[in-house]
A = this chain, B = another copy of it.
Amino acid sequence: MRTHQLVQSWLEEQLAAGHLAVGDRLPGERMVAEQLGISRASAREGIRVLEAMGIVRAGVGSGPGAGTVITANPGAALGAALRLHMATSHLPIEDIVQTRLLLETWAAAHARPAAPAMENAAALLEAMESSAPDEKEFLRLDALFHVALADAAGNVLIGAMMSSLRESIEGYTLRLTRTLPDWAATSARLRAEHRDIHNAIRNDDGALAAKMVANHIEGFYKEAGFSGA
């Protein structure tokens, strides 16, 4: 077992046994190294891997917020891993469209009208409508809107998968968007569709919202010249 895996397993045991919990400070490198019988450099590496996975967050300074804190952000590792795998071209675009359809129609069907994330989604709609953002900013808000719907459905795992998927395809989506013949027309249509989806969820009509989300996603890829969805 490599040392970064040793550090992972150790933390997993500490968490499972209740010796450590989310929000706690992680013991220092020296302590981790001693407990596991590894070098300080190996302990540091192991902790960096945990950081890259969104399991711990390194604090700065020397106040009470300093040190490395155990956090829980499953999306971070998923996002970074998916983005790199996108770059290796081992994730065909068909697979991404299909996965988006699966996760996002589920989310739309299960989003709860009164979930706090729906307020967040409404604010994002307004930002997309009022300030005429450029493609890049529009897509950033657009992605956050879709993630907010997933959050409104209340499944942590599906939300994290959605969020990491959106993050990992950001660059790709931007390139696709720049091939569109008429961005003003497309963005107006996307805005109207977002509003309709949001309304359907507010009216507790999950079946309609799911159908609209499927059309919304398929329509975008079709317009961008990708018909394999």
Contacts and interface: CB of A to CB of B under 8 A. Distances in A.
Interface in A125-172: 155-158, 161, 165
User: Interface on chain A toward B: helix, strand, loop, or mixed SS?
Assistant: helix
Nearest to A71: B88
> How many of these chains are in the complex?
2
Interface in A2-53: 2, 4-5, 8, 11-12, 15-16, 21-22, 41, 44-45, 48-53
Q: Which of A15, A74, A87 has the most CB of B within 10 A?
A: A87
Nearest to A13: B87
Contacts of A80: 8, 53, 77
Given A96-B157, A155-B99, A53 B55 contact: no
B88 A81 contact: no
A92 interface: yes
B4 A51 contact: yes
A85 B11 CA distance: 11
Contacts of A91: 74, 156-157
B85 A74 contact: yes
A88 B21 CA distance: 7
Interface in A37-95: 41, 44-45, 48-55, 58, 70, 72, 74, 76-78, 80-85, 87-92, 95
Given A53-B81, A102-B158, A87 B15 contact: yes
A84 B51 contact: no
Contacts of A77: 53, 77-78, 80-81
B12 A51 contact: no
A107 to B, nearest CB: 10
A53 B50 CA distance: 11
A81 to B, nearest CB: 4
Given A74-B81, A78-B77, A102-B102, A95 B155 contact: yes
